[in-house]
């Protein structure tokens, strides 16, 4: 068992204010795998104070120098990639091979991308008699989730640091060990003291202390819509910027001329990834009424091929959910679907008999789900798919848009052109066309109650920048294309 006793603040590992500890539970063994400090408002204040003191120097450090340090962080993460994959597989439950590819591979790529972006970004431009410059927003509190813990940390921290902001990170207390390893990597890379700071603790205490702190200029949060609403309320008191990536209830719309086997397989893959613990999971599959029986048969065949088991066993496609609380939440949703009359095609709320230990849930598919039912409206965050039928495209669009969320989705059709036409009508931030893959450098974020703002690519770095307009007299030297700023 690992024991972390200190926070990383102002370039040093220092003892926390209080004596509280939080146990980190291995999702597949249900045993304590690590302990971390339970931070409070005093720890949050110390971290913010350090970030504020470091901001002036870091924001004025040439972008190429910031990028060079981020490149060192990327190299340090690569050197510890196997360790990180094992840690996240234990914390979250994703099978080890997938954890290495997704949970570790994407954050390493992100740090490399923003290392390059720092020196290539267009920091100023001329319009009329003004030079418009982009400057860092200031001290950023990054509050991150447990489902893709290091990926979400990198999407925020790498972009913010490249932009010239200083950062206080509070990772999820459920899957925090990867963040402590990252802090070690950042320390070894030689970032100036106070540029990156790490504390841990619960959302209502440490997280809320960061959100309400007057010296925090921006909060970047990924998590539940309920928590996002609370963050918006608290942050409003100091009118700080808030970026939110929240829940989803994404629809995969299969049109009548689509390749059904490919569409069903692609949708279920997008639904069950990370045992369904993905905010952009395609949890609603919309199919023509006339093709329902065929789709239902294909869905059961595909879902039944998802073996569940030990993330370290080598053969499982689905690992456990992250916690007992999450497992019970998902099981209750499955029971609710049965109570409300949906057709249980496979899976169910009972624990897999062969897996008495670990937070496992059977891959579950419901058929003939009503669009306004609980399981079709609320985010479940488990391996549960709802098949919903529609009569025509108009009804398909209404159903797809008929939830409070708008994070992701998919459209399957006989041609990309037809799929794209329907995609234009969906109120959601990302749409996969005929199984198009995730693009790490395209903007990620949602409409409606799925949040505000975007992460990834140049769009993600722009979230951490302010505009400033400098007005000159006409033909001033500072308006020349090569004039420095």
Q: Could you tell me the pTM of the whole model?
A: 0.96
Angle in degrees, CA 288, 292, 295, rounded to 5: 105
Supply 84's token pair: 């990180």
Same-domain status, 268 and 143: no
How far is residue 312's CA from residue 418's CA, in Å, rounded to a whole number? 42
In the set 142, 165, 271, 279, the catalytic residue is 279
Tokens 């308006």 — which residue? Answer: 479
Q: Verify whether residue 83 is a known catalytic residue.
A: no
Confirm whether 440 is domain-assigned: no
Among 280, 214, 291, CA closest to 254: 291
Among 484, 478, 465, 485, CA closest to 117: 465
- Domain residue limits at 236: 2-246+450-470
The pLDDT of residue 483 is 79
Tell me how many domains the chain contains: 2
Same-domain status, 148 and 297: no
238 DSSP assignment: G
Confirm whether 163 is domain-assigned: yes
Same-domain status, 186 and 259: no
Same-domain status, 78 and 192: yes
Q: What is the CATH classification number for the domain harbouring 71?
A: 3.40.605.10
The pLDDT of residue 478 is 87
Same-domain status, 141 and 257: no
How far is residue 369's CA from residue 436's CA, in Å, rounded to a whole number? 26
Q: What are phi and psi of 372, to 5 degrees?
A: -100, 10
Same-domain status, 14 and 27: yes
Q: Verify whether residue 462 is a known catalytic residue.
A: no
Angle in degrees, CA 110, 113, 116, rounded to 5: 150
Give the count of alpha carbons within 13 A of 464, CB side only: 32
How far is residue 327's CA from residue 424's CA, in Å, rounded to a whole number? 36
Q: What is the CATH classification number for the domain harbouring 315?
A: 3.40.309.10
Give the count of alpha carbons within 13 A of 453, CB side only: 22
Same-domain status, 51 and 189: yes
Same-domain status, 227 and 333: no
The pLDDT of residue 427 is 98
Low-confidence ranges of the chain (pLDDT < 70): none
Q: Where are the alpha helices (DSSP H) in 60-192?
A: 63-79, 81-92, 96-98, 105-120, 149-163, 177-189
How far is residue 165's CA from residue 220's CA, in Å, rounded to a whole number? 12
pLDDT in tens, 265-324: 999 999 999 999 999 999 999 999 999 999 999 999 999 999 999 999 888 999 999 999
How far is residue 127's CA from residue 343's CA, in Å, rounded to a whole number? 60
SS3 426: coil
How far is residue 249's CA from residue 407's CA, in Å, rounded to a whole number? 7
The pLDDT of residue 484 is 75
Confirm whether 294 is domain-assigned: yes
The pLDDT of residue 83 is 98
The pLDDT of residue 18 is 87
The pLDDT of residue 184 is 98
Same-domain status, 258 and 237: no
pLDDT in tens, 128-137: 999 999 999 9
Characterise 117 by phi-psi region: left (phi > 0), alpha (psi -120 to 50), beta (else).
Answer: alpha
The dihedral sign for the CA sequence 246, 249, 253, 259: positive
Same-domain status, 203 and 316: no
In the set 245, 379, 455, 463, the catalytic residue is 245
Neighbours of 110 (CB within 10 A): 28
Same-domain status, 279 and 201: no
């Amino acid at each position: 068992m690992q024991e972390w006793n200190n926070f990383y603040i102002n370039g040093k590992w220092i003892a926390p204010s209080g004596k509280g500890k939080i146990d980190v539970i291995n999702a597949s063994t249900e045993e304590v795998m690590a302990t971390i400090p339970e931070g409070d408002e005093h720890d949050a204040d110390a971290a913010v104070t350090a970030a504020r003191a470091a901001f002036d120097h870091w924001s004025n450090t040439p972008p190429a120098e910031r990028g060079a340090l981020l490149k060192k962080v990327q190299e340090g993460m690569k050197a510890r990639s196997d360790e990180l994959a094992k840690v996240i597989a234990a914390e979250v439950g994703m099978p080890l091979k997938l954890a290495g590819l997704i949970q570790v591979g994407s954050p390493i790529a992100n740090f490399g991308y923003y290392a390059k972006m720092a020196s290539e970004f267009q920091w100023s431009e001329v319009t009329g008699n003004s030079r418009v410059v982009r400057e860092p927003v200031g001290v950023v509190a990054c509050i991150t989730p447990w489902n893709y813990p290091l990926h979400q940390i990198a999407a925020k921290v790498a972009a913010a640091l490249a932009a010239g902001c200083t950062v206080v990170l509070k990772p999820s207390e459920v899957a925090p060990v990867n963040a402590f390893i990252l802090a070690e990597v950042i320390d070894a890379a030689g970032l100036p003291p106070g540029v990156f700071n790490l504390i841990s603790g619960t959302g209502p205490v440490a997280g809320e202390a960061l959100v309400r702190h007057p010296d925090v200029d921006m909060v970047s949060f990924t998590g539940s819509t309920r928590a996002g609403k609370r963050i918006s309320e608290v942050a409003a008191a100091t009118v700080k910027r808030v970026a939110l990536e929240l829940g989803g209830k994404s629809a995969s719309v299969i049109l009548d001329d689509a390749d059904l086997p490919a569409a069903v397989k692609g949708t279920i893959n997008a639904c069950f990834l990370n045992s369904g613990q993905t905010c952009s999971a395609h949890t609603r599959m919309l199919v023509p009424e006339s093709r329902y029986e065929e789709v239902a048969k294909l869905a059961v065949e595909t879902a039944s091929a998802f073996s569940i088991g030990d993330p370290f066993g080598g053969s499982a496609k689905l690992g456990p959910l992250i916690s007992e609380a999450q497992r019970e939440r998902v099981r209750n949703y499955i029971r609710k679907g049965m109570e409300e009359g949906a057709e249980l095609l496979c899976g169910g709320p009972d624990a897999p008999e062969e897996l008495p230990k670990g937070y496992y849930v059977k891959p579950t598919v419901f058929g003939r789900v009503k669009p306004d039912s609980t399981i079709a409206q609320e985010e479940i965050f488990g391996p549960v798919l709802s098949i919903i039928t529609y009569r025509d495209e108009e009804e398909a669009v209404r159903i797809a848009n008929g939830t409070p969320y708008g994070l992701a989705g998919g459209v399957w059709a006989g041609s990309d052109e037809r799929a794209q036409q329907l995609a234009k009508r969906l109120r959601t931030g990302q749409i996969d066309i005929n199984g198009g893959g995730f693009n790490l450098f395209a903007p990620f974020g949602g409409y409606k109650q799925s949040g505000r703002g975007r992460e990834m690519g140049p769009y993600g770095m722009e979230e951490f920048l302010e505009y400033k307009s400098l007005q000159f007299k006409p033909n001033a030297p500072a308006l020349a294309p090569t004039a420095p700023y």
